[in-house]
Structure 1
């Protein structure tokens, strides 16, 4: 009997997920061949993974420097108050801004950690002055500029 995880993912599902992380453009036939299934059962499993929310979408990986956004800034935010409504309001504002690539609610010294991309320091200053500092309830902002990525991966170790 195949070993399954608590969320019902078995070894075949993991092979499907690993293959798609390597190449999300695989045809069903190529995916089926790669994981040792025929196309129909492979497609059924793929659709089940999508319905279960394990696969949340498909996208292209775009090199940020190649599209004129070479600057990555990691921003630590502390709010004046950490009540649920303050956290939710901050999260809702951040969700509207395309410069914010990632936003995490954190434990520790800061409440949020953001990764922002921009074209240059002037663009970052504009983001900081016109958006971030205009939010109600922000107590402190600390910016750290990335000098380069040592490792960047979207591939989960499954």
Structure 2
């Protein structure tokens, strides 16, 4: 694992806040000239500390008005059941995050859909056909109080 210094942490925080910063703007922000700044960014990318860049969209403006958190318990934990479940879930576009959990449920999914009718379609056409599911529980988000905040960099 790459050892992070103060400048690396500043770069990571800045890019989490605005991934479209130009190298010049980033260099100015962290107190470097452009060439060493770009070298550090490339090193952070090579070390996989920066995995990708993306644009965060306004879900509601795109017609995705419902966010659901779906807890899944599998029928069994055989390697085939787990592998099949994870492969099928990874292929469903409406599932934007899937976490393997400790505790009573096996997985927690974050799902975005166009409305409650969209959620029903998701359940009937995409989730229920996935083999190995023993139980499903869903909670709907009323609103996001804190959403996709930058990760603190120790």
Provide the C-alpha distance between the structure 1 equivalents of 2:152 and 2:55, rounded to a whole number of angstroms.
19
In structure 1, how many angstroms separate the alpha carbons of the residues matched to 2:149 and 2:89? 22
Q: Secondary structure at the match of 1:13?
A: helix
- Aligned-CA RMSD value: 1.1
Displacement, 1:154? 3.5
Partner deviation per Cα, 1:106-140 (whole Å, 9 max, x = no partner): 11111000010001111111110111111111101
Partner Cα distance (1:47, 1:25) in 2: 15
TM-score, normalised to structure 2, is 0.95
Question: Which residue, out of 62, 67, 73, partners 1:67?
Answer: 62
The runs of at least 4 aligned residues of structure 1 exceeding 6 Å deviation read none
Map of 2:134 onto structure 1: 139
Q: Which runs of 5+ in 2 are unaligned?
A: none
Secondary structure at the aligned position of 1:102 is classed as strand
SS of residue in 2 equivalent to 1:131: helix
3-state DSSP class of the match of 1:53? Answer: coil
**1:3 match:** none
Question: Which residue number in structure 2 is paired with residue 93 of structure 1?
Answer: 88
Q: Distance in 2 between matches of 1:87 and 1:93?
A: 10
* 1:11 counterpart = 2:6: yes
Q: Name the CA distance, whole Å, in 1 between partners of 2:2 and 2:101.
A: 26
Alignment match, 1:20: 15
User: Which of residues 137, 148, 152 in structure 1 aligns to 2:147?
Assistant: 152
**CA displacement at 1:149 relative to structure 2:** 1.0
Q: Which residue of 1 aligns with 2:74?
A: 79
| 1:32 corresponds to 2:44 | no
> What does residue range 50-65 of structure 1 map to in structure 2 within 5 Å?
50-65=45-60
Aligned residues between the structures: 153
d(CA) in 2 for partners of 1:99, 1:60: 17
Structure 1: 5+ residue runs without aligned partners?
A: 1-5
